[in-house]
Amino acid sequence: MAKQVEIKYTQLFIDNEFVDAVSGRKFSTINPANGEVIAEISEGDKADVDKAVDAAKRAFARNSKWRKMDPYDRGQLMHKLADLITRDLDYIATLETRDNGKTYASAVGDIEAGIACLRYYAGWCDKIQGNTIPTGDTYVTLTRREPIGVVGQIIPWNYPFLMLIWKWGPALATGCTLILKPAEQTPLTALYTAALAKEAGFPAGVINVIPGYGPTAGAAIAEHSEIHKVAFTGSTEVGHAIMAAAAKSNLKRVSLELGGKSPLVIFDDVDVKEAAEIAHDAIFVNHGQCCCAGSRTFVHSKIYDEFVKHAKQLALAKKVGDPFDSKIDQGPQIDQEQLNKIMDLINSGKQQGAVVEVGGNRIGETGYFVQPTIFSNVTDDMRIAKEEIFGPVQTILKFDTMDEVIERANRTNYGLASGIITKDINKALEFAQAIESGSVWVNCYDAITSQAPFGGFKQSGIGRELGEEGLNEYLEIKTISIKVTKNN
């Protein structure tokens, strides 16, 4: 049964203090396992974003404590925050499961990955270096890499804690100050982590958290003329709106990690059972609520029927229910809106002639549970093969040749991730070079690490997160040229 946990923080976090929204409004955050209200959360909007920006500007001022801090000490603060998260891991994971619905084991994994990512970026604080550039003997030319300033960050509900760390890590390592808006569905772990940041000793104004809705709080961040960069993870539709707002305001820097319809291509030279297991995890991880999910499973015609048989067995064995039960593999979807979207797409697959091998229905009337679902005989023109479902639905398509499958895999507006399963290194390399995606996973899937960049081609995004490349999104490069006066 669900673990009971005290909800300690429900207000906005501005300038190292928890405060009510200026408007006094609140909104409910819901437990997706039963539809019940967990807590009432202060609802931030433009007035609160303005307050947070003022605090962040003070924290970034030229002679502020944060700006004058030795980079090594900044890294130590980040390590201290990681220590506190480690101390409270069980509590944070419990909050995450109640607020999001992912299994407790999955939540623990997310928190542990977040700790590793935070420590990775802590190590970068005193290693962000410029260059000297040869420009003849008249000038000495060098570059400095400086923090971009006050940044806005907007994160999604599918990985609430992990996406927070992906955003905070490089922003703090580079010396920026930030305003983060968590998804309205999942604000609890962001608010708690803000409290830990204060406990760790971050100066007031460096970290601010404004729960609220996209059209109000999120738009206020995207439109704010004194925020110099906005980082967003979420839907491609909202990504368009954020870019437009950035253009109309102050041409702030934008990085976007958006949707996907990622192909996983399985050739006929593989262990079919093992390939089915990789493909199963690729789509069903986090209840299918993953931007880089392997949501188009292309299987070679020679092994197609055998593959479908194995995929079906894996889905039938999947246990759905209370996410705090250690025997459960899949909890609820995030909310009613997402449930409705998933069921609409499942129904479209049925109507357009795909074969339901497993599942295809909602489970019960309490909470937002969906049966693990597999469609075979899927064709490229079906909605389930083109639209991002963001749910536990595997679509299995048939192919015959490399050229054919590359062309079909690339025939999408998305380009976030991809995978290939084959024993032939030449096939793997040909695919890796031809596919239009930011990540290519060979004989594996979701091999994401803090050290390696992550992001998308085409309408799956702009810029990169993680790795050294993730730092560049928060840095400006300044060129300094010094004239050399010669003594004759």
CATH number at residue 302: 3.40.309.10
Length reported for the chain: 488
Q: In 267-407, at which residue ranges do the beta strands (DSSP E only) sit? A: 296-300, 355-358, 362-363, 369-370, 373-378, 393-399
Q: Is the pLDDT of residue 374 over 80?
A: yes
Are residues 274 and 232 part of one domain? no
Are residues 209 and 184 part of one domain? yes
Are residues 428 and 332 part of one domain? yes
Separation of alpha carbons 232 and 152, rounded Å: 8
Angle between helices 104-122 and 89-100 (to 10 degrees): 120
Rounded mean pLDDT of 456-483? 98
Q: Is the pLDDT of residue 190 over 80?
A: yes
Residues near 150 by beta carbon (within 8 Å), at least 6 away in sequence: 53, 56, 57, 60, 176, 177, 178, 179, 226, 227, 228
Are residues 245 and 334 part of one domain? no
pLDDT at res. 407: 98
Query: Which residue out of 257, 357, 388, 473 is catalytically annotated?
Result: 257
Please indicate, yes or no, if residue 2 is contained in any of the structural domains. Answer: no
pLDDT grade for 487, boundaries at 50, 70 and 90: confident
Q: State both tokens at 181.
A: 């808006």
Are residues 271 and 354 part of one domain? yes
> Which region holds residue 341: left if phi is over 0, alpha if psi is between -120 and 50, else beta?
alpha
Please indicate, yes or no, if residue 199 is contained in any of the structural domains. Answer: yes
Please indicate, yes or no, if residue 287 is contained in any of the structural domains. Answer: yes
Burial class (CB in 10 A: 0-12, 13-18, 19+), 145: middle
Please indicate, yes or no, if residue 4 is contained in any of the structural domains. Answer: no
Separation of alpha carbons 238 and 291, rounded Å: 14
Q: State both tokens at 305.
A: 């029927």
Are residues 116 and 25 part of one domain? yes
Are residues 272 and 246 part of one domain? no
Separation of alpha carbons 168 and 110, rounded Å: 15
| Cα atoms found within 13 Å of the Cα of residue 142, Cβ hemisphere only | 9
Phi, psi for residue 124 in degrees, rounded to 5: -85, -15
Please indicate, yes or no, if residue 484 is contained in any of the structural domains. Answer: no
The pTM is what? 0.97
Q: Is the pLDDT of residue 442 over 90?
A: yes
The number of domains in the chain is 2
Report the candidate in 168, 166, 185, 188 with the shortest Cα–Cα distance to residue 177.
Answer: 168
Please indicate, yes or no, if residue 352 is contained in any of the structural domains. Answer: yes
In our burial notation (b when 16+ CB lie closer than 10 A, e otherwise), range 32-53 reads bbeeeebbebbbbbbebbebbb
Separation of alpha carbons 317 and 327, rounded Å: 11
Are residues 319 and 279 part of one domain? yes
Q: How far is CA 462 from CA 229, 233, 240, 441, in A?
A: 13, 11, 11, 20
Compute how many other C-beta atoms are within 10 angstroms of the C-beta atom of residue 274: 12
Are residues 299 and 236 part of one domain? no
Are residues 141 and 225 part of one domain? yes
pLDDT grade for 2, boundaries at 50, 70 and 90: low
Separation of alpha carbons 382 and 134, rounded Å: 57
Are residues 115 and 91 part of one domain? yes
277 catalytic per annotation:
no
Residue type, 467: G
Beta strands across the sheet bearing 253-257: 17-19, 12-14, 207-209, 177-181, 150-154, 229-233, 253-257, 461-462
> Which region holds residue 156: left if phi is over 0, alpha if psi is between -120 and 50, else beta?
beta
Q: State both tokens at 161.
A: 């804690």
CATH number of the domain at 203, please.
3.40.605.10
pLDDT grade for 401, boundaries at 50, 70 and 90: very high
Please indicate, yes or no, if residue 6 is contained in any of the structural domains. Answer: no
Are residues 329 and 235 part of one domain? no
Indicate the helix (H) or strand (E) that contains 145.
Answer: strand 139-147
Q: State both tokens at 176.
A: 């920026």
Rounded mean pLDDT of 458-484? 97
Please indicate, yes or no, if residue 454 is contained in any of the structural domains. Answer: no
What tens digit of pLDDT does each residue of 18-48 get?
Answer: 999 999 999 999 999 999 999 999 999 999 9
Report the candidate in 469, 404, 413, 465 with the shortest Cα–Cα distance to residue 436.
Answer: 413
For residue 385, give its domain range.
263-449
What tens digit of pLDDT does each residue of 238-275 get?
Answer: 999 999 999 999 999 999 999 999 999 999 999 999 99
Residues near 376 by beta carbon (within 8 Å), at least 6 away in sequence: 308, 354, 355, 357, 396
CA quadruple 84, 88, 94, 99: dihedral sign: negative
